[in-house]
Structure 1
């Protein structure tokens, strides 16, 4: 599970904190209840060794919980955290096992916590094998220290199994969330890649024939130059005309690419938002808008849609285009914007749009109120 930009996603960070807090509740089995055994241990040497073992176990367990819900950490750091936890778990047997021998199953509580961690470290079959080995080890510690078998089984099997189940469910939900965010990012990248391919195909179709003819004409002019200068000059002039025509067609294609049909862009943006779980309502313009106006509004639409996905926890979005006289207005409103979230008027995208619309005689305004962010763009419509 890898998410390159997960650390910058507000929603993912908050969900991670909640998941980590829920997982951390299992620490009570490795701190509080073994602490009862420490309180009952009269031997100061055993007490010191036991306290060191319990503390080291809790620290390394916390590190493993952290890497379990932090997918952007390096694999090397993950391996080091897991290896440290395994080493400490093994060392805890001689350190904590003799603590409160015969009166309290001190190490059995560490064993229960260890069983609870197995779903985070191993696949299901390996986790079951590790859990069974831990139960057997707890029984061996009880036999070594003169402890009771019944309480040891209850602690390791019931408490450990319950902790493992809760931890597994928590991490499963976290993995689903991470995969959903990965899917959204992949969908956005795929849409951009498809649009680039479409434009590349258009350019290829436009230029393929023209460049072939230009190459043939240029070759003919080169062959005619030594024997028929007049005809070679005419062919060279034809090459020049064809090159100018091809350049004009490319510029027209780029202009058309930048002014993709506004209705198509509205439909595409609505589909992307809905696929990401945002209810989207679109109110199209009452009539056809000039190509230049549609190009400016399409740029605003792309930036506003990006902001909805990146800077909010939107549940709904409304896109409306109106025309009053010689002014066309696009309004994009979405919820899920807190005081510390959402783009502001100083963001690079909005600032660039403000400058672009200003050059076209329009204006861009943004406002935030009651958790709703509004982008309003106005563009003059030439008579």
Structure 2
């Protein structure tokens, strides 16, 4: 899956989903401990502890894999196989514990039924749940326990957990698909912009190159019969080539011109889509292209820092122009520790970029709020 593991909003949702799934499953893992306490045979109790711990570890691994879309398929399959092995081993290890006095394995069976939506498609999940229910009935009959109680625990409780698990996984999948859609939209926008630029260059050069090729061919044919005219045709081809080069350079320059207000608005939209309340105040009037390009680089770095290096709830982007000085200020809460090091690679790179134009970058943290201030002088 094309999901960014550094997406802090997705990480928060992942932790909540994992906690919710764990709560559903671990309830039925803790209840077999009652059977361990009621088992009079110490050897059987120790074997039960081993089986229960192995099952719990495998279950945690599967739950983690269910909400880790960037996990490789082989690792996911290994975790599923480990759970299957742990479930089979739990039959002889946990099944006899407190036989007849407490439905120990029936609770493990309920946990297995509850996890079927994580492992199988609906039709296969129903078949797997039926197999677990049969195993619970066999263990109960073999240990002399009450069959209706075991079937009610494994089937009834397990079905309730399975329903909750399916709903939680469904919501998680919707969130992952939404984030994938946002990433795909960004990639599509970039691809469309590249195609637009390619079309512009083609339109500019297509006609000129055709004419230049014809002029060059004509000059070649005339070289041996009419040298003067051949020279004129060659000169015209050279003029057309110089004119085409000038237009291409102008197009590329226009393509690279940065609108700082648009950049700030775009960064604000990205932050808001990631759950950060963002306020953007753009400058009045256009800024010189070099100044806008320098500050746009600072703005992109600041936006990246907010998303990756903080747990921001709000962010404020402000661009002001006063007395020949343009100032970009980005402030956000949710700083981890003391915030970024003033000598970190990103900030040092920005300082090096602004230095030739007399610009400066300052970073500070106060009361959990990180501030990044960049100033660039405007030459009249």
Q: Same fold (TM over 0.5)?
A: yes
In 1, distance between residues paired with 2:199 and 2:93?
70
Query: Where does 1:276-355 land on structure 2 (aligned, <5 Å)?
Result: 276-339=274-337, 344-355=341-352
Query: Where does 1:163-174 land on structure 2 (aligned, <5 Å)?
Result: 163-174=161-172
Which among 332, 339, 355 is matched to residue 358 of structure 1? 355
Question: Could you say which residue in structure 2 is the equivalent of 1:191?
Answer: 189
In 2, distance between residues paired with 1:186 and 1:347?
31
Query: Where does 1:5-44 land on structure 2 (aligned, <5 Å)?
Result: 5-6=4-5, 8-13=6-11, 15-25=13-23, 26-30=25-29, 32-43=30-41
Deviation of the 1:116 alpha carbon: 1.8
Q: Structure 1 residues 291 and 34, CA, compared in 2 at 3 Å: closer, same or farther?
A: closer
Question: Could you say which residue in structure 2 is the equivalent of 1:250?
Answer: 248
Deviation of the 1:296 alpha carbon: 3.0
Deviation of the 1:147 alpha carbon: 0.9
The runs of 5 or more residues in structure 1 that have no matched partner are none
In 1, distance between residues paired with 2:20 and 2:163?
13
CA contact (8 A) 1:266 1:282 kept: yes
User: For residues 49-78 of structure 1, what are the alpha-carbon distances to aligned partners after superposition, in whole Å with 9 as ceiling and x for unaligned?
Assistant: 544433332232222222222222211121
Q: Structure 1 residues 15 and 374, CA, compared in 2 at 3 Å: closer, same or farther?
A: same
Question: Could you say which residue in structure 1 is the equivalent of 2:138?
Answer: 140
Question: Could you say which residue in structure 1 is the equivalent of 2:82?
Answer: 84
Deviation of the 1:346 alpha carbon: 4.1
Secondary structure, aligned partner of 1:288:
coil
CA contact (8 A) 1:318 1:332 kept: yes
Question: Could you say which residue in structure 2 is the equivalent of 1:235?
Answer: 233
In 2, distance between residues paired with 1:263 and 1:85?
54
Deviation of the 1:158 alpha carbon: 3.8
Q: Structure 1 residues 63 and 321, CA, compared in 2 at 3 Å: closer, same or farther?
A: closer
In 2, distance between residues paired with 1:277 and 1:13?
12
CA contact (8 A) 2:326 2:375 kept: yes
TM-score (ref. length: structure 2): 0.85
User: For residues 339-361 of structure 1, what are the alpha-carbon distances to aligned partners after superposition, in whole Å with 9 as ceiling and x for unaligned?
Assistant: 276x5544544433322222122
Deviation of the 1:10 alpha carbon: 4.5
Q: Structure 1 residues 362 and 180, CA, compared in 2 at 3 Å: closer, same or farther?
A: same
In 2, distance between residues paired with 1:275 and 1:27?
34
In 2, distance between residues paired with 1:174 and 1:236?
67
In 1, distance between residues paired with 2:166 and 2:180?
21
User: For residues 301-345 of structure 1, what are the alpha-carbon distances to aligned partners after superposition, in whole Å with 9 as ceiling and x for unaligned?
Assistant: 33333444444444433332222122222223333333276x554
Q: Residue 259 in 1 paired to residue 257 in 2?
A: yes
Q: Structure 1 residues 271 and 105, CA, compared in 2 at 3 Å: closer, same or farther?
A: closer
Which among 99, 102, 105 is matched to residue 104 of structure 1? 102
Which among 40, 64, 78 is matched to residue 62 of structure 2? 64
User: For residues 209-260 of structure 1, what are the alpha-carbon distances to aligned partners after superposition, in whole Å with 9 as ceiling and x for unaligned?
Assistant: 3222222222222222222222222222232232222222222222222213
Deviation of the 1:28 alpha carbon: 4.7
Range moving further from structure 2, 359-368 or 46-55: 46-55
In 2, distance between residues paired with 1:371 and 1:191?
35
Deviation of the 1:203 alpha carbon: 2.3
CA contact (8 A) 1:184 1:276 kept: no
Q: Structure 1 residues 23 and 271, CA, compared in 2 at 3 Å: closer, same or farther?
A: closer
Question: Could you say which residue in structure 1 is the equivalent of 2:377?
Answer: 380
User: For residues 95-142 of structure 1, what are the alpha-carbon distances to aligned partners after superposition, in whole Å with 9 as ceiling and x for unaligned?
Assistant: 433333222212111111111211211233433343243233322322
Question: Could you say which residue in structure 2 is the equivalent of 1:115?
Answer: 113
Secondary structure, aligned partner of 2:31:
helix
The runs of 5 or more residues in structure 2 that have no matched partner are none
In 2, distance between residues paired with 1:314 and 1:196?
33
CA contact (8 A) 2:3 2:176 kept: no
Secondary structure, aligned partner of 1:247:
helix
In 1, distance between residues paired with 2:99 and 2:238?
98
User: For residues 158-198 of structure 1, what are the alpha-carbon distances to aligned partners after superposition, in whole Å with 9 as ceiling and x for unaligned?
Assistant: 43234334434443444344334434433333333333233
Question: Could you say which residue in structure 2 is the equivalent of 1:54?
Answer: 52
Which among 220, 223, 228 is matched to residue 225 of structure 1? 223
In 1, distance between residues paired with 2:68 and 2:338?
23
